[in-house]
Amino acid sequence: MKNLKTITRIFAILSIVLAASCSSDDDFQPTEDDTVVEDTNLTGDIDSDRILDPTQQYTISGSVFVKDGAKLTIPAGTEIVAEVGTNNFIAVEQGAEIDIQGTASLPVIMRSAGNNPGEWGGLLLCGKAPTTEGTGVIAEVAGLVYGGNEPTDSSGNIDYLIIRNAGAQINSESQYNGLTLYSVGSGTTIDNVAVLDGADDGVEFFGGTVSVTNFYAENNEDDSVDWTEGWNGTLTNTYVLHTLAGFSTAVEADGENANPKLVNFTANSTVGGTALQFKKESGATITNLALIGYETSLDFRDDGAPSNVQIDGQDSDPNNPYIAPPTVDVSMFSWVSSNNTGGEVVILGGDVTETLTLDPGTSYLLDAVLLVKNGGRLIIPAGTKIAARPGGQDVYIASEIGGQIEVNGTAENPVVMSSVAGQPGDWGGLLLCGDAPTTEGTNVIAEVGGLVYGGTNPASDSGKINYLVIVGAGAQINSESQFNGLTLYAVGTGTEISNVATINGADDGVEFFGGTVSMTNFYALNNEDDSVDWTEGWNGTLTNAYVQNDIEGFSTAVEADGENANPKLVNFTAASTVGGTALQFKKESGATFTNASITGYDTRVDFRDDGAPSNVIVDGVPLTTPEDDVFNGTPVDISGWAWILARL
């Protein structure tokens, strides 16, 4: 595909050159004396007008300065490759101009030779527009001068420009950006710019009045958009994408608040992080904001007033995640030719009353409660990934009695449900409600959202789950209760559940509230309370379960409570590297174990309420004391369970 694009690009450029050469009626035949060899090495001063040749590839081998009175024209399709070096950049000085004439089919490309972040200094424009630093300001780069009293100053034109791999280190305190705008005035037109894979900011405004339309920033390691010194232009149609952890922010604003405007701003993260950060008393007016996947939406670093930031006509609210469907269609940046364009993001939440089938090729963000109502059906195909907003008890997926959830993962393409950061307690997990029996009776009210469960139908069908990975669940409900990774309220034998992993939960991995459902192939890693928990008379079978505890402070591998309906655990393995308690039985609860292996725990069995050890049967023999050395079976072999490693 890339080779085809390259060939198409070459032919398009040649067509431009041929069209120009055929525009004259003269039959010009160059002689040896007429031949002009274009110098493709860019370095030093450009002190007179220069037009580059789009059929040539240019090399930046040092600092390039477009001097006062000169104009550098870069036609569509030109590619400029910077040698790796701190001092390799293009700077347009005050009084000079640059004219970048890219098109959607033939953008201008500036990149480093090594194609790695931080290998060159990017593009810098210096203007005479105002900055809070005054006039004749000396920049941190090469003694460049900027700032004045001409708000309509022009530094030229930029259209369809791709900048990659910039952000080289200047000194221990400073780095270059992809595009740096020093006091650039409103007479400068900047449209359709993409900055990718930079080691510092995508674009930074140092004062000035310039506006930018159609800006795309992907995986810049510091801030995607940064301003200071009183910039007061407008940024329209911006799409920021973060798929690599460790970046700073999507927006960083500093200094006095000159009230710049952001119109149609979408930032999309698959790795959490902070979206918008305002320092000192900086602010902005933002219209049509969509933040997707960030842990922190607004950060007022220096306790500035939230009212300095106006979002859709109201004072900003740091507690509002500002999650919304994208306000910018990422497809408008298809000319960028990124291998990582973010794709469509669909917000999940609300009631499912009919059949809703998700698309594994779509990015989903669970923003609220997604509730499958009686008669509704949610189908989740193999490979689907659902990112949950870290919204605690306000974010979970549940089905009512009569609703069905069908998770159709495979070993090669499991379904993943996870908070963006995958931290314990970020969200509420997955809950199914059935009308199988529970010792609490019928139409029991759950501790979550008023859900109703329990009945007289042991064969109750809540759907099926196969190859599902749940990460970061277990949000707090109240001081006494938490969500689990997978919660099964009176779920019946008509429900099929196999190949489920619950990882990094703040409460239980799976909890059965009564019911008759069975589960096969279950993996629980580092859930902070119990890995397997049951109560209210659950009497199904758990086959091939592997519990792993590698963090201190968890509760147990198994907690059983209430009446003993004698559930069965066949091929059960629990392994701890941090001691703790393996099995805890409260009241008169019990179970029948076949081939159980328990290693690494300080306490194997704890009868918390002095229940009868004989309620626990191991390989056909009732326990006589908690100290019976009978849990020495063959561990479950999970070497083939590669699907448990799946993440967002």
Q: Are residues 223 and 366 in the same domain?
A: no
Q: Judge if 155 and 291 occupy the same domain.
A: yes
212 within domain boundaries: yes
Which domain-ending residue is among 301, 331, 361?
A: 331
User: Residues 424, 528: one domain?
Assistant: yes
**Domain count of the chain?**
2
Q: What pLDDT, in 10s, does the model give residues 356-377?
A: 999 998 888 898 899 999 999 9
Q: Is residue 136 part of a domain?
A: yes
CATH of the domain at 216: 2.160.20.10
Are both 280 and 351 inside the same structural domain? no
457 in Cβ contact with 492 (< 8 Å): yes
Residue 21 is predicted with a pLDDT of: 37
Mean pLDDT of the chain: 92
Residues 374 and 280 in one domain: no
Are 228 and 154 found together in one domain? yes
Q: In this structure, what token pair is assigned to residue 616?
A: 């626990």
CB–CB of 614/587 below 8 Å? Answer: no
Would you say residue 238 lies in a domain?
yes
> What does DSSP assign to residue 577?
S
In what helix (H) or strand (E) does residue 3 lie, and over which residues does it extend?
helix 2-21
Helices (H), 379-476: none
6 pLDDT more than 50: no
Name the region of 134 (left: φ>0; alpha: ψ -120 to 50; beta: rest).
left
Span 451-498, pLDDT tens digits: 999 999 999 999 999 999 999 999 999 877 899 999 999 999 999 999
Residues 262 and 408 in one domain: no
Report if residue 6 sits inside a domain.
no
Domain boundary among 276, 305, 331: 331
Q: What are phi and psi of 65, to 5 degrees?
A: -120, 120
581 plus 614 within the same structural domain: yes
Q: Which of 279, 301, 331 is the last residue of a domain?
A: 331
Determine the structural domain holding residue 149 and report its residue range. 39-331
Express each pLDDT in 392-419 by its tens digit: 899 999 999 999 999 999 999 999 999 8
Overall pTM surpassing 0.75 (yes/no): no
Q: Is residue 486 part of a domain?
A: yes
Residue 2 included in any domain: no
Q: Is 5 inside any structural domain?
A: no
Q: Are residues 197 and 239 in the same domain?
A: yes
Average of pLDDT values for 301-307? Answer: 95
Beta bridge partners of 518: none
pLDDT at 338: 67
pLDDT of residue 31: 41
**What confidence score (pLDDT) does residue 341 get?**
46
Q: Rounded CA gap, 171 and 179, in Å? A: 18
Q: What are the backbone dihedrals phi and psi of residue 356, each rounded to the nearest 5 degrees, phi first? A: -120, 120
The reply to whether 350 and 266 lie within a common domain is no
pLDDT of residue 11: 35
Same domain for 151 and 204? Answer: yes
Q: Identify whether 30 is part of a domain.
A: no
Judgement on whether residues 467 and 594 belong to the same structural domain of the protein: yes
pLDDT one-digit tens code per residue, 82-104:
999 989 999 999 999 999 999 99
